[in-house]
């Protein structure tokens, strides 16, 4: 856990769908169809209305994000930010754009607490360490520009991923 310019940044081992935060981020595809990985878990826990609402707002480009209600989840919103098209390929630039878009959307919504999964590491197959590094760099850049966000949680069900987050945060 660390603080950067007054914003708390926390690495947490756990299930993103159980967190009590204003918003959780879904590393989506550009069509906003919620298939496997974190998206599938969000849909199972929160209800298929999250996917229906997302798909109705899509397709969107990488670098854009849309919010939906969070269904049965404790969060107020799910922010869907694509890290890949339907080819399931991601890269450093796409992950940067996705993190940036999600944070921008969070500020538009006046959100104070937000939880991110490890963007691009699931179906996208991106390296855990690299993803952690990119995400924290983008988060710091966003905070540098001024934000209303007070707490950012980086969470995963994998201990390895959480260790990667902790390493970059400290």
CATH (residue range 2-169): 3.40.220.10
Residues 113, 149: Cα–Cα separation, whole Å? 6
Lowest-pLDDT choice from 32-36, 63-67, 86-90: 86-90
Residue 58 is predicted with a pLDDT of 96
Residues 23, 74: Cα–Cα separation, whole Å? 9
22 confidence band (pLDDT: 50, 70, 90):
very high
- Write down the pTM of the prediction: 0.97
Read off the pLDDT of each residue in 136-153 and give the average, rounded to a whole number. 98
Read off the pLDDT of each residue in 37-49 and give the average, rounded to a whole number. 96
Residue 124 is predicted with a pLDDT of 81
Residue 61 is predicted with a pLDDT of 97
The answer to whether the CB of 4 falls within 8 A of the CB of 154 is: no
């Amino acid at each position: 856990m660390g603080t950067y310019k007054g914003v708390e940044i926390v690495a947490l081992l756990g299930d993103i769908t159980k967190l009590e935060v204003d918003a959780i981020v879904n590393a989506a595809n550009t069509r906003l169809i919620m298939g496997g990985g974190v998206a599938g878990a969000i849909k199972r826990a929160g209800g298929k209305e999250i996917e229906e609402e997302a798909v109705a707002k899509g397709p969107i480009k990488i670098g854009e994000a849309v919010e939906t209600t969070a269904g049965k989840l404790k969060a107020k919103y799910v922010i869907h930010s694509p890290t890949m098209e339907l080819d399931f390929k991601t890269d450093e630039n796409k992950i940067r754009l996705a993190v940036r878009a999600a944070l921008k959307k969070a500020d538009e919504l006046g959100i104070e607490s937000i939880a991110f999964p490890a963007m691009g590491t699931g179906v996208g197959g991106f390296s855990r360490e690299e993803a952690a590094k990119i995400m924290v760099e983008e988060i710091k850049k966003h905070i540098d520009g001024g934000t209303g966000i007070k707490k950012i949680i980086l969470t995963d069900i994998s201990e390895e991923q959480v260790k990667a987050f902790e390493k970059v945060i400290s």
